[in-house]
Amino acid sequence: MSQQLFTINKLRQEIFRYFSVINPLESGITKIDFEGPRIAIYTKNQELFRNQDQVAKDLVNLIKKRVVIRSDESIRLPREEVEEKIREYFKNVQGVVFNDLLGEVVIELSPDKPLPSDNELKLLSNMTLWSIKVERTTTMQTKTIEKVKKIIYGDPQYRVQVLRNIGERVFRDQTFMTNEVLITILGSGMQVGRSAILLQTTESKILLDCGYSLGGTSNLESFPRLDAIDNLVEELDAVVITHAHLDHMGMVPYLFKYGYRGPVYCTEPTLPLMLMQHLDFINVAEKEGVFPPYSEADARLAVQHTVTLGYGVVTNITPDVRITFYNSGHMLGSSVVHIHIGEGFHNIVYTSDFKFEDSRTLEACISKFPRIETLIMESTYGAAQTPFNRAQSEQVLAEYITKTIERGGKVFIPVPAVGRAQEIMLILNHLFESKSIPEVPVFLDGLVIEATGIHMAFPQYMNQEIARQIIDGKNVFLTEYFTPVRSTQQREEVLETSGPMIVIATSGMLEGGPILTYLREYAGDERNLLAFVSYQVEGTLGRRLLKDIREIQLMGENGKPEIVNVNMEIVKIDGFSGHSSKQELLNYVKSIQPKPKNVVLLHGEPEAVLSLSKSISKILPSSKIYTPRNLNSITLEMKA
Ligand SMILES: [Zn+2]
């Protein structure tokens, strides 16, 4: 099989050949630089800059790498004039941030007007000779998005250097021909939690996810087994994060603590959602008197090294590996990763967590790909006997809420901050509007509020209906039915309020978060209801309650452990899960195209993995099915 071994010099030659032969234009190139996985071409030819779309397209076709055209400093309009023009042009400007190193200006626009068209932006860019980027601020302020911007734009010199270093590795000479693909399971083998898969080719080492297990009782059980691979941190080319749940990204800053300085690839919403939860993770650990595995400085370093990619953008991340993210329907920004290895040597689809059904916020996971030889897929509900679906579950939830309110009780819904929480908010809105449940106050507590703000900033990552409403200026989540609890004092007031109410609070598996404060106060009253709407991992307090353990230990007000007797009603409703039901998992295998030769089942307890494996072998009788444990390696066969 022929392989194109691209070198940096060869790339330069190709670029110059393009300008002398194909497009005989005085290129005015002043610099060719790397911007992460893209090649940046700086020019002082104004015409070329104004024609950048065509030139970039031609070059991508020619060299098969992502290209961006930037203006040389000498031709850019001065900052003051650019800012004046921007403010003349748009009436809803909230901020203008210049990046002199890249010749890029970020315009922050308030959400009360529709976003400018590509044409308008193009005109402005042609006039000013700056690259223009537009960001929407939201009606809900989020501290995290501000923080991410400060970290990235606050030290542009460092960021540019990071991107250059990443590019140098991505576009390095390929030393070895790709003739082998090996995956090693460092976490999530026969378990739900700490997802981490090491993907190795003869040329590249890539870590897919780097999660933390909530149910573990020691670091050896909670951390991915990075320790099992010699020199992993030094030799790692890239980290790819599928979505912002702790069990997929909780340990990313830990890599930076131990010296990793390479790229972290994820979608745009995943970045702020990740930072928010890393900081919360440190916070919770400190509150519980546990030494956190990394510091805030490590989490900030991770942000500085993160490169975000939109859905469908094909990106080289090493000389022989290209990745593309697609919607996985699991939570905001969650992705299935298509991994293309060598020039057609092997293709992997890593589904990570996925939902093969439309939810209120997201469309169902993508199932058609250009090519697949190996499918790595989750198995969370692989053993579930009772089928579930959302419409039915909404009705069940409505019945439980109504019953509880009618007997004078309060409803508590523990949620992970991201994904389930926003889905449940939309469902409650719907239940109130359709008068399916009595109108009572709903309090939102914990990270849910901030996470909802982050949702409002990325409408394009949700389904069209929700996106349209947000762009029209509606806060689809935080309607008049909800009251956010923003301080300890406010929480005290809620705790003193008598009568029926609904509380949505973090954390989803009762491992920390304000939900525990409510439980301490109200778990003893049998009129109340605790409604689980997400998966409860083995070893968590949530799982123990589901196993009928009714005497639990919670931290008291004075910081001392307290025994709490749980008399409230407890129910678990599966249909809101961001994971596919068993039926959906099997439907996915039936729908996926083309058919994979290898299927690797991860992210499920042994019973789930084995049961799913049996069912899949009937659907794909000629495929090889693997059910690895942690530290098992699999050499993936070359395409037949
Ligand atoms: Zn997840």
Residue 509 is assigned to a structural domain of this protein: yes
pLDDT at 5 over 50: no
Same structural domain for residues 207 and 87?
Answer: no
CB 290 within 8 A of CB 342: no
Residue 143 is assigned to a structural domain of this protein: no
CB 193 within 8 A of CB 187: yes
Q: How far apart are CA 612 and CA 384, in angstroms?
A: 10
pLDDT of residue 573: 93
Backbone angles phi, psi at 176, to 5 degrees: -120, 140
| Beta bridge partner(s), residue 109 | 93, 136
Q: What is the whole-number distance in angstroms between the Cα of residue 244 and the centre of ligand 1? A: 7
pLDDT of residue 537: 86
Q: How far apart are CA 441 and CA 332, in angstroms?
A: 26
The dihedral formed by the CA atoms of 156, 159, 165 and 168, expressed in degrees to the nearest 10: -80
Q: Where are the alpha helices (DSSP H) in 497-603?
A: 515-522, 541-546, 582-591
Which CATH number does the domain housing residue 62 bear? 3.30.300.230
pLDDT of residue 2: 37
Q: What is the whole-number distance in angstroms between the Cα of residue 307 and the centre of ligand 1? A: 20
Q: Which long-range contacts (CB under 8 A, 24 or more apart) does 293-296 make?
A: 293/212, 293/219, 293/223, 293/251, 293/254, 293/257, 294/251, 294/253, 294/254, 294/256, 294/257, 295/253, 295/257
Which CATH number does the domain housing residue 443 bear? 3.40.50.10890
Q: What is the distance in angstroms between the CA of the first residue and the CA of the last residue of the chain?
A: 13
Q: What is the whole-number distance in angstroms between the Cα of residue 245 and the centre of ligand 1? A: 5
Beta strand 196-201 with 181-187 is: antiparallel
184 vs 217, higher pLDDT: 184
Q: What is the whole-number distance in angstroms between the Cα of residue 507 and the centre of ligand 1? A: 14
CB 97 within 8 A of CB 64: no
Residue 564 is assigned to a structural domain of this protein: yes
- Closest alpha carbon to 213 in 186, 183, 241, 240: 186
Q: What is the whole-number distance in angstroms between the Cα of residue 535 and the centre of ligand 1? A: 10
Same structural domain for residues 318 and 444?
Answer: no
- The DSSP secondary structure of 602-627, one letter per residue, reads ESS-HHHHHHHHHHHHHHSTTSEEE-
Q: Which of 530, 556, 576 is where one domain is finished?
A: 576
The pocket of ion ligand 1, defined by CB under 5 A, consists of: 245, 353
474 vs 341, higher pLDDT: 341
Q: What is the whole-number distance in angstroms between the Cα of residue 242 and the centre of ligand 1? A: 9
- List, for residues 322-351, the tens digit of each pLDDT value: 999 999 999 999 999 999 999 889 999 999
Q: What is the whole-number distance in angstroms between the Cα of residue 209 and the centre of ligand 1? A: 11
Residue 640 is assigned to a structural domain of this protein: no
Q: What is the whole-number distance in angstroms between the Cα of residue 64 and the centre of ligand 1? A: 33
Torsion over CA: 76, 82, 83, 89 (sign): negative
What single letter denotes the amino acid at residue 247?
A: D
Q: Where are the alpha helices (DSSP H) in 189-292?
A: 219-222, 232-235, 246-249, 252-257, 270-287
Same structural domain for residues 418 and 511?
Answer: yes
**The pTM is what?**
0.92
- List, for residues 130-172, the tens digit of each pLDDT value: 999 998 887 777 899 999 999 998 999 999 999 999 999 998 8
Q: What is the whole-number distance in angstroms between the Cα of residue 134 and the centre of ligand 1? A: 29
Q: What is the whole-number distance in angstroms between the Cα of residue 248 and the centre of ligand 1? A: 7
- List, for residues 539-557, the tens digit of each pLDDT value: 899 999 999 999 998 888 7
What single letter denotes the amino acid at residue 39?
A: I
Same structural domain for residues 220 and 314?
Answer: yes
**For the ranges 23-27, 465-469, 487-491, 505-509, which has the lowest average pLDDT?**
23-27
Residue 29 is assigned to a structural domain of this protein: yes
638 — pLDDT class (breaks 50, 70, 90): low
Which CATH number does the domain housing residue 89 bear? 3.30.300.20
Q: What is the whole-number distance in angstroms between the Cα of residue 82 and the centre of ligand 1? A: 43
Q: Which of 29, 56, 74 is where one domain is finished?
A: 74
Q: What is the whole-number distance in angstroms between the Cα of residue 243 and the centre of ligand 1? A: 7
pLDDT of residue 384: 75
Q: What is the whole-number distance in angstroms between the Cα of residue 358 and the centre of ligand 1? A: 16
Q: How far apart are CA 411 and CA 527, in angstroms?
A: 9
Which CATH number does the domain housing residue 370 bear? 3.60.15.10
Residue 146 is assigned to a structural domain of this protein: no
Same structural domain for residues 572 and 593?
Answer: no
pLDDT of residue 138: 77
CB 236 within 8 A of CB 207: yes
Same structural domain for residues 222 and 110?
Answer: no
Q: How far apart are CA 142 and CA 144, in angstroms?
A: 5
pLDDT of residue 3: 39
Same structural domain for residues 212 and 227?
Answer: yes
Same structural domain for residues 458 and 309?
Answer: no
Mean pLDDT over residues 275-302, rounded?
A: 93
Number of domains in the chain: 4
What single letter denotes the amino acid at residue 20?
A: S
Burial tier of 216 (Cβ tally within 10 Å: 0-12, 13-18, 19+): middle
pLDDT at 179 over 50: yes
Number of alpha carbons in the 13 Å side-chain half-sphere of residue 593: 2
388 — pLDDT class (breaks 50, 70, 90): confident
Other C-beta atoms closer than 10 Å to the C-beta of 633 total 11
Cα 628 to Cα 336, 345, 634: the distances in Å are 20, 23, 8
Q: What is the whole-number distance in angstroms between the Cα of residue 240 and the centre of ligand 1? A: 14
- The DSSP secondary structure of 19-35, one letter per residue, reads IIIIS-S---EEEEEEE
Backbone angles phi, psi at 105, to 5 degrees: -125, 130
pLDDT of residue 1: 34
Q: What is the whole-number distance in angstroms between the Cα of residue 364 and the centre of ligand 1? A: 15
Same structural domain for residues 68 and 85?
Answer: no
Q: Where are the alpha helices (DSSP H) in 434-463?
A: 448-457
Domain assignment of residue 83, given as a range:
77-137
Q: What is the whole-number distance in angstroms between the Cα of residue 378 and the centre of ligand 1? A: 10
Same structural domain for residues 99 and 42?
Answer: no
Same structural domain for residues 603 and 545?
Answer: no
Same structural domain for residues 213 and 340?
Answer: yes
Residue 3 is assigned to a structural domain of this protein: no
What token pair was written down for 281? 């993770």
Q: How far apart are CA 302 and CA 452, in angstroms?
A: 23
- Closest alpha carbon to 165 in 331, 320, 304: 304
- Closest alpha carbon to 408 in 438, 371, 369: 438
Mean pLDDT over residues 518-522, rounded?
A: 95
- Closest alpha carbon to 418 in 340, 504, 491: 504
pLDDT at 216 over 90: no
Residue 88 is assigned to a structural domain of this protein: yes
- List, for residues 419-446, the tens digit of each pLDDT value: 889 999 999 999 999 999 999 999 999 9
